[in-house]
Structures are given as C-alpha cells and as structure tokens.
C-alpha cells in the first residue's frame, strides 16, 4: 500500500514463539523471537529496525562440577540511509539463566548501548557500539554471572583497549583488569584530557586516573581512542624472559611476582604501561596495595596523570 508519506515494508522472522525455558528430567529447551521492519519514506530514505535474539548455551566449571548456563543475547539495532552508522539508541540486552537445577534460575539481566555483543571466556560479556565518522568503538564489559559493569573502554580490538592479569596459583584466584577510555570531543581536546585509565577486579573499579597531554592534542586523542595499548610490566616476569604483554579476558597475564599470594592487598609491586598507537610509552604507573599510584608514574613528554575518585 502506498501511503502519503512513506511506503512501509515489514518482514518478521520468527525463530520461535517464546523465550521461556522448560525443564524435565534434566532436559532444558529454549526458544526466542526475532523480527525486522523496513520503512521506505517518500523521499527515498530507508529506515531499518532489527530485533534479533540469539540463544547461547555454555558451561562454567566451579572446581567440582560443570554448570550449564543459557545466555539470551538480544540486539535491537536501528539504521537509516540518511545517517552514518548505527543509531546511538541501539541496544544489546542479555539475560543469563542457571540450568543446573530442576528449574531455570535467572542469574543476571542487563542492557547496554551497542549493536553487537559477545561472550568472552564464558565469564564476561562485551557490548560494543561501533564508532561513526572515524569515532572509536565503545565497549561495555560486564561479568556474566551477576551482570556487574566492570568498565567502559574505547578501542578497535576485543574488549577495547584493555589488559588482564592474574596472581598465579592464588587462593582465591585473583584476577585484575585495566581499561582505557579515550576522549575525542572538542571540550576534552581543549583541556588536554586524552582519556581515563581504570583498574579493577570482578566487582568493578578499584582505581581511576585522568591522563592529559600538552602536545598534539587532536592527533593523540584520535589515535589513542582507536589503538591505545596497555601492558603489564613485572620485573620478575621480564627477568624470566616474558615480554610485557596485555593478557586477555580468556587468558590473563600471569604476574609471577604475585605467585601464590592470598591477600588482595598484596596485589602490587608491578606496573601498568600505556602505549601510544605508534608503540611509544606515555605513562608507566606503579600498582601498590591493589591501586594505581599516579604520583609515582614515569611519564612521557607532555603527559600528566592525576588520581580521580571512582
């Protein structure tokens, strides 16, 4: 039907008709819906809206048993031909259910801006919002089991510009992350702020610093927002022949100077280094008592760092 203002074409793809999970005798079954609409306006603009549900079963190991989980990942993405990129109102929504009992048990439910989502190491979830007009991709990384937001980061790689570390053979197992959130807006460039560096654990941020540059503000802001790199610097690891590296959510870098520690307050004695897109070191910030210590940082030319409240 031709309307006065637009021609509408609607396509609905039904994968199944319910998101409810059924269980009987250890058997679980899940179904979910997907749909898409396309509106062709009178001026030729095409407006698209897709609602896609993906069911991802996975397993976590608690040291004794394999525990089945079901993640339902729903992307709600809007696009139009008279604007670049995905509409910023697009979202990624996730629910996680524990299927280890007779009946499913909801563990977490969360939603973040973005148009793509991915499970990382069966422990974390990364919702990503691709940048528009040379802007960086923005990542929101959460814990799958409880939905806690760990960090926001920019960067073109998996989980954004981030680094992951562990204390090997620690009991309980101690894991830490660091993430860089770059700024590219005019206000940030005028004040010299290039971004924020956060450090935390599986409950969220423990320490956060602001990074400023007195030189080449526009170039450094854009480059860092896409390609900043974080690496862990640990004298014992490097003495053993390991180059400073980032680790990943699936495989955190082992900090061997922390071998077998049991007290989180002893998480220290090494450093986090921020590298520019050309591999140049901008800041090396020591970690002591499980916090970044910007006052003791070794800084590149024109770089300053200052501690922020979380």
What does pTM read for this prediction? 0.87
> Model confidence at 31, in pLDDT bands (50, 70, 90)?
confident
Burial 221-247 (b: 16+ CB within 10 A, else e): bbbbbbbbbbbbbbeebeeeeeebebb
pLDDT digits (tens, 9 = 90+) for 218-247: 578 888 999 999 999 998 888 877 788 999
Dihedral sign, Cα of residue 242, residue 246, residue 251, residue 254: positive
How far, in Å, are 19, 199, 291 from residue 288 at the CA level? Answer: 46, 12, 5
Across residues 148-161, what is the average pLDDT?
94
User: Quick one: pLDDT at residue 218?
Assistant: 58
Q: In the chain, where are the structural domains located?
A: 1-147, 157-310
Contact 193, 180 (CB under 8 A): no
User: Quick one: pLDDT at residue 240?
Assistant: 78
User: Quick one: pLDDT at residue 7?
Assistant: 40
> Model confidence at 11, in pLDDT bands (50, 70, 90)?
very low
d(C-alpha 301, C-alpha 303), whole Å: 6
pLDDT at 13 over 70: no
DSSP state, 264?
G
pLDDT at 135 over 70: yes
pLDDT digits (tens, 9 = 90+) for 240-285: 777 889 999 999 999 999 999 989 999 999 999 999 988 999 999 9
Across residues 72-78, what is the average pLDDT?
96
Across residues 104-115, what is the average pLDDT?
96
* Owner of token pair 């095409």: 46
Q: Count CB atoms within 10 A of the CB of residue 1.
A: 4
Cβ-based neighbours of 221, under 8 Å, separated by 6 or more: 182, 183, 184, 188, 189, 194, 195
d(C-alpha 298, C-alpha 229), whole Å: 16
pLDDT digits (tens, 9 = 90+) for 171-227: 889 999 999 999 888 777 788 899 999 999 999 999 999 999 987 655 788 889 999
User: Quick one: pLDDT at residue 24?
Assistant: 45
User: Quick one: pLDDT at residue 298?
Assistant: 96
Q: What share of the chain has pLDDT > 90, as a percent?
A: 67
């Amino acid at each position: 039907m031709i309307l006065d203002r637009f021609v509408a074409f609607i396509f609905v793809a039904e994968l199944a008709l319910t998101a409810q999970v059924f269980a009987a005798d250890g058997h679980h079954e899940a179904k979910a819906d997907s749909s898409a609409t396309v509106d062709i306006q009178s001026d030729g603009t095409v407006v698209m809206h897709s609602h896609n549900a993906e069911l991802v079963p996975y397993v976590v190991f608690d040291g004794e048993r394999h525990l089945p989980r079901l993640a339902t990942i729903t992307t709600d993405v809007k696009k139009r031909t008279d604007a670049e990129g995905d509409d910023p109102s697009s979202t990624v929504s996730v629910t996680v259910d524990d299927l280890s009992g007779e009946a499913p048990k909801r563990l977490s439910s969360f939603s973040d801006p973005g148009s793509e989502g991915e499970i990382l190491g069966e422990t974390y979830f990364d919702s990503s919002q691709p940048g528009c007009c040379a802007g960086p991709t923005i990542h929101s990384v959460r814990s799958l089991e409880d939905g806690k937001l760990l960090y926001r980061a920019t960067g073109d790689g998996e989980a954004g510009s981030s680094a992951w570390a562990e204390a090997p053979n620690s009991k309980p197992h101690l894991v830490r992350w660091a993430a860089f959130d770059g700024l590219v807006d005019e206000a940030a460039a005028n004040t010299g702020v290039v971004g924020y560096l956060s450090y935390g654990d599986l409950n969220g941020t423990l320490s956060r610093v602001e990074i400023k540059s007195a030189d080449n503000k526009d170039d450094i802001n854009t480059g860092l927002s896409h390609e900043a790199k974080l690496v862990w610097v640990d004298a014992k690891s490097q003495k053993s022949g390991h180059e400073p590296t980032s680790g990943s959510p699936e495989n955190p870098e082992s900090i061997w100077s922390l071998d077998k520690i049991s007290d989180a307050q002893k998480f220290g004695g090494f450093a986090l280094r921020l590298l520019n897109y050309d591999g140049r070191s901008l800041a090396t910030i020591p970690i002591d008592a499980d916090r970044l210590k910007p006052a003791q940082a070794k800084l590149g030319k024109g770089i300053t760092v200052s501690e922020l409240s979380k």
